[in-house]
Chains A and B, each alone.
Chain A
Amino acid sequence: MPDKIKFTIDGKDCYAEPGQTIYEAAKANGVFIPVLCHYEGLKPVGSCRICSVRANGRWMTSCTQPVTNGMVIENATPEVEAYRKAIIEMLFVEGNHFCPTCEKSGNCELQALAYRYQIMVPQFPYLFPKREIEAFPGFLLEHNRCIQCQRCVRAIQTEDGQKIFALKNRSKDLRINVDLKLAARMTEKEVQKAMDICPVGAILKKEVGFRIPIGKRKYDQKPIGSEVEENK
């Protein structure tokens, strides 16, 4: 394999195509690296930081960083995993996540990661910020649960590239801002796409929810990432 890139993840020899990110290459080698803001087909933005690894000793986000020949990657080490866990916990206390009432519960990627990391209680204090729920013609935006991953910003745009979802404010007040006029013109399919692409229960198509019974939901039985790991 002349053109292949050779690298290691936690000591395991892995191979990648040139141009692949660490995340993509790891996946192809049956190694799970958690992601939240990343979504296949969308340009990575490196916002959640959950996919961080140590590559040649330096912290990098695997969804943005191309893998290079000879790279030595620490992925499932206690330190890396502890730091990722902290990111998940930060997201839980930064918003208001009342899972028992949430339409996305059981299918939520944030929650699924918390399960995978066996988080019984966050190490951080709950901040209980005041956030709004906004209603638009086809959907609700539940700011309490939004993790500002920008998947919606990237995935849902008008044909001529105008942003329907955009970021607003900065720092701890960073929020998703929906363009009222453009949102009103969203088709049902687009709304469905927005809801599906949102990793958490922040975008809710009206008049659906709690459709799948408990036990049958995406992450009820098997941890997130097991699909990658079964691929070894």
Chain B
Amino acid sequence: MSKPVIATASLAGCFGCHMSFLDIDERILELIELVEFDKSPIDDLKKFTRPVDIGLIEGGCCNAENVEVLRYFRENCRILVSVGECAIMGGLPAMRNLIPLKECLEEAYLNSPTVAPEDRLIPNDEELPLLLNRVYPCHEIVKIDYFLPGCPPSADLIWEALMALIHSQPLKLDYPLIKYD
């Protein structure tokens, strides 16, 4: 049997969850033995090259591109995991959900004292992904199979979860592993 394939993505996140993933330290060597990586910032692969077993998503969706990437992951991954508060509930980026998009952009690009008068413009470059009216948790957009809370989730939690998924075993959670901060 071939090794399980893993892919990862960072949407509206801070890469904190990816960093935490790398924090599994020397266990990463063990992991490399167990799995292969496909599309991921870790190996810089931009496209899926084969069907993926486990997709790890960091960050929620704050723009149209996030949504497209997330959907692309859903199409290509057998199991999709929301990793971290941002993926699960929008996280800190979702603090903007309490304010209408218009006000957010006007404050940031028009009214803020740090904007020079000549720069007052809401960015409208066609290359920029369009912002969504609010930040969406991933599971409001595609089906998510598992959730790993934390900001970021601890390396131990990510490790335990990966091992459980790879070996198709139930995830056993010691109390200190679940944290929302």
Which residues of chain A come closer than 8 Å to B95, judged between CB atoms?
Answer: 96, 98, 101
**Those of B65-86 within 8 Å (CB) of chain A:** 82, 85
Give the most central of A96, A98, A105, A214: most B CB within 10 Å. A98
Residue numbers in A under 8 Å from B89 (CB-CB): 121, 126
Q: Does A111 contact B (CB under 8 A)?
A: yes
Q: For residue A222, which residues in chain B have a CB less than 8 angstroms away from its CB? A: 175
Contacts of A11 in B (CB 8 A): none
B175 → chain A closest CB, angstroms: 5
List residues of A (70-127) whose CB comes within 8 Å of B's CBs. Answer: 96-102, 105-106, 111, 114-115, 118-121, 125-126
Q: Are B178 and A118 closer than 8 Å at their CB atoms?
A: yes
Contact indicator B98/A128 (Cβ below 8 Å): yes
CA distance A121 to B91 in the complex (A): 13
State whether A121 and B139 are in contact (beta carbons under 8 Å apart), knowing that A96-B98, A98-B91, A222-B175 are contacts in the complex. yes
| Contacting pair B139 A98 (CB below 8 A) | no
Interface residues on A, range: 20 to 34
Tally of A-B Cβ pairs under 8 angstroms: 69
Query: Which applies to chain B's interface (DSSP): helix, strand, loop or mixed?
Result: mixed
* Residues B132-161 near A (CB distance < 8 A): 134, 137, 139-140, 144, 146-149, 151
Interface residues of B, count at CB 8 A: 28
CB within 8 Å of B: which A187-224 residues: 214, 220-223
Whether A221 lies near B176 (C-beta < 8 A) is: yes
Q: Distance in Å from the Cβ of B145 to the closest Cβ of chain A?
A: 11
B98:A131 contact, CB within 8 angstroms: yes
Q: Flag if A100 contacts B151 (CB, 8 Å).
A: yes
Q: How far apart sit A100 and B95, CA to CA, in the bound complex (Å)? A: 11
